[in-house]
């Protein structure tokens, strides 16, 4: 049984206080699948690119063991393009450009071998498309995780609310949780979002870590304090890829195991931000990942007796 990943596969242009890139490869599904491929060799990618997308990148997906049969290449069309500029704190950014291009009328076609995944990661994409993917599956997967962003809350809220009814876990950042719920307090926001469909909610807070909410329980994982954050683009997607990749590897979807999955997601995201784009996600070893997870364990572990 496999992990099906759908999302944007894109070109990004990024500006941070440390520099600027021309068009580089990005996209939610790119980060998610590359990251998840370190946990499971059964990643199936659904997405669409134009004929401007580099063949070498598709080749590198394959080298990571990612099944790209579901990645459509549209001749004569352009890939999705996103451009963003980070503020000095690197925790917030402005979107400068969103050109949907091939994503504007994306019809997510699932090859037959993709129709029975155990895990599904709906990466950032039009909520209607995320929904279509679920409708085209041959069964109800064990776990569906969905990511989305303010862009879709602003232009497709009704679709988004429908899709939310079909998923188990939602991952959004703090700003998006406030926008979706209309509540400033993240605890109140979480309570509200948990009535909209998902049974679990992860609120990502960038350098301030991530919160997992489920019923009346909350778990908090810190982010690794890094000397230099070079480019936060894709950190949220990498986090999601590590989270679901770990669950797919361990096949345990309990709240306790989700805590461990969050730590793995956070560890993977800490690699992502160390270089521009996906650069740091290529060629990691299991030893690198193990050491980083161990750093996380030490960062937040303490032991004392309650009086
Ligand atoms: P993150 O930094 O994890 O929030 O994700 C950044 C990635 O999201 C970039 O690589 C973009 O290509 C992609 N992205 C940005 N806006 C959208 C959008 N509206 N739909 C799908 N993907 C997007």
pLDDT higher than 80, residue 307: no
Q: What are phi and psi of 257, to 5 degrees?
A: -75, -30
Q: Could you tell me the distance, in angstroms and rounded to a whole number, from the CA of residue 28 to the centre of ligand 1?
A: 5
121-143 pLDDT tens trace: 999 999 999 999 999 999 999 99
Question: Which of 21-25, 64-68, 109-113, 297-301 shows the lowest per-residue confidence on average (mean pLDDT)?
Answer: 297-301
Question: Which of 101-110, 199-208, 256-265, 298-307 shows the lowest per-residue confidence on average (mean pLDDT)?
Answer: 298-307
pLDDT higher than 70, residue 4: yes
Q: Could you tell me the distance, in angstroms and rounded to a whole number, from the CA of residue 224 to the centre of ligand 1?
A: 22
Candidate of 5, 6, 10, 242 to mutate for ligand 1, largest count of ligand atoms within 8 Å of Cβ: 10
Ligand 1 nearest-atom number relative to CA 173:
4
178-202 pLDDT tens trace: 999 999 999 999 999 999 999 999 9
Q: Could you tell me the distance, in angstroms and rounded to a whole number, from the CA of residue 240 to the centre of ligand 1?
A: 13
3-state secondary structure string across the chain: CCEEEECCCEEEEEEECCEECCCEEECHHHHHHHHHCCCCCCEEEEEEEECCCCHHHHHHHHHCCCEEEEEEEECCCCCEEEEEEECCCCCCEEEEEEECHHHCCCCCCCCHHHCCCCEEEECCCCHHHHHHHHHHCCCCCCEEEEECCHHHHHHCHHHHHHHHCCCCEEEEEHHHHHHHHCCCCHHHHHHHHCCCCCCEEEEECHHHCEEEEECCEEEEECCCCCCCCCCCCCHHHHHHHHHHHHHHHHCCCCHHHHHHHHHHHHHHHHHHCCCCCCHHHCCCCHHHHHHHHHHHHHHHCCCCCCC
* Domain tally, the chain: 1
Q: How confident is the model at residue 108 (pLDDT cuts 50, 70, 90)?
A: very high
> What is the pTM (predicted TM-score) of this model?
0.96
Candidate of 11, 15, 25, 28 to mutate for ligand 1, largest count of ligand atoms within 8 Å of Cβ: 28
The whole-number pLDDT of residue 140 equals 97
Report whether 102 contacts 74 (CB < 8 A): yes
pLDDT higher than 90, residue 306: no
Report if residue 73 sits inside a domain.
Answer: yes
Residues with CB under 6 A from ligand 1: 8, 10, 12, 26-28, 82, 98, 124-125, 149, 151, 233-237
Residue ID of nearest Cα to ligand 1 atom 14 = 27
Candidate of 82, 83, 94, 154 to mutate for ligand 1, largest count of ligand atoms within 8 Å of Cβ: 82
Q: Which of 246, 295, 247, 253 is nearest to 270 (CA)?
A: 295
Q: How confident is the model at residue 279 (pLDDT cuts 50, 70, 90)?
A: very high
- Domain limits at 50? 3-300
Number of alpha carbons in the 13 Å side-chain half-sphere of residue 226:
23
Report if residue 306 sits inside a domain.
Answer: no
Report if residue 200 sits inside a domain.
Answer: yes
pLDDT higher than 90, residue 92: no
Report if residue 307 sits inside a domain.
Answer: no
Q: How confident is the model at residue 15 (pLDDT cuts 50, 70, 90)?
A: very high
The whole-number pLDDT of residue 1 equals 63
Q: How far apart are CA 33 and CA 66, in angstroms?
A: 7
Residue ID of nearest Cα to ligand 1 atom 16 = 82
Q: How far apart are CA 133 and CA 127, in angstroms?
A: 10
Q: Could you tell me the distance, in angstroms and rounded to a whole number, from the CA of residue 244 to the centre of ligand 1?
A: 18
Report if residue 202 sits inside a domain.
Answer: yes
Residue ID of nearest Cα to ligand 1 atom 12 = 27
Ligand 1 nearest-atom number relative to CA 81:
12
The whole-number pLDDT of residue 192 equals 98
Q: How confident is the model at residue 101 (pLDDT cuts 50, 70, 90)?
A: very high
* Cβ-Cβ contacts under 8 Å for 56 (sequence gap 6 or more): none
Report if residue 41 sits inside a domain.
Answer: yes
Q: Could you tell me the distance, in angstroms and rounded to a whole number, from the CA of residue 26 to the centre of ligand 1?
A: 8
Mean pLDDT (whole number) for 237-256: 97
The better pLDDT of the pair 263, 306 is held by 263
pLDDT higher than 70, residue 155: yes
Q: Could you tell me the distance, in angstroms and rounded to a whole number, from the CA of residue 301 to the centre of ligand 1?
A: 33
Q: Could you tell me the distance, in angstroms and rounded to a whole number, from the CA of residue 226 to the centre of ligand 1?
A: 23
The whole-number pLDDT of residue 89 equals 83
Report if residue 211 sits inside a domain.
Answer: yes
Report if residue 305 sits inside a domain.
Answer: no
Mean pLDDT (whole number) for 101-126: 97
- Which CATH number does the domain housing residue 148 bear? 3.40.1190.20
Residue ID of nearest Cα to ligand 1 atom 9 = 27
């Amino acid at each position: 049984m496999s992990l099906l990943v759908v999302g944007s596969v894109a070109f990004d242009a990024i500006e941070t206080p440390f520099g600027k890139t021309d068009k580089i490869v990005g996209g939610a599904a790119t980060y998610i699948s590359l990251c998840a491929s370190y946990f499971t060799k059964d990643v199936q990618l659904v997405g669409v690119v134009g004929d401007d997308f580099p063949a070498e990148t598709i080749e590198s997906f394959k080298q990571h063991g990612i099944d790209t049969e579901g990645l459509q290449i549209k001749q004569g069309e352009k890939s999705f393009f996103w451009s963003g500029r980070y503020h000095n704190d690197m925790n917030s950014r402005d979107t400068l450009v969103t050109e949907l291009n091939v994503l504007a009328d994306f019809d997510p076609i699932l090859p037959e071998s993709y129709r029975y995944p155990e895990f599904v990661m709906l990466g950032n994409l039009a909520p209607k498309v995320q929904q279509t993917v679920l409708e085209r599956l041959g069964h109800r997967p064990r776990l569906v995780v969905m990511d989305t962003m303010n862009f879709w809350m602003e232009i497709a809220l009704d679709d988004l609310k429908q899709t939310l009814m079909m998923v188990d876990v939602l991952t959004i950042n703090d700003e998006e949780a406030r926008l979706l719920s209309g509540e400033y307090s993240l605890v109140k926001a979480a309570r509200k979002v948990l009535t909209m469909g998902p049974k679990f909610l992860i609120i990502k807070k960038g350098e301030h870590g991530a919160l997992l909410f489920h019923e009346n329980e909350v778990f908090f994982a810190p982010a690794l304090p890094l000397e230099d954050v070079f480019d936060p683009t894709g950190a949220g997607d990498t986090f999601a890829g590590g989270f679901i990749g770990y669950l797919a590897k361990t096949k345990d979807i309990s709240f306790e195991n989700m805590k461990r999955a969050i730590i793995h997601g956070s560890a993977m995201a800490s690699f992502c931000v160390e270089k521009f784009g996906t650069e740091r996600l290529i060629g990691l070893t299991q030893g690198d990942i193990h050491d980083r997870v161990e750093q996380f364990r030490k960062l937040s572990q303490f032991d004392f007796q309650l009086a």
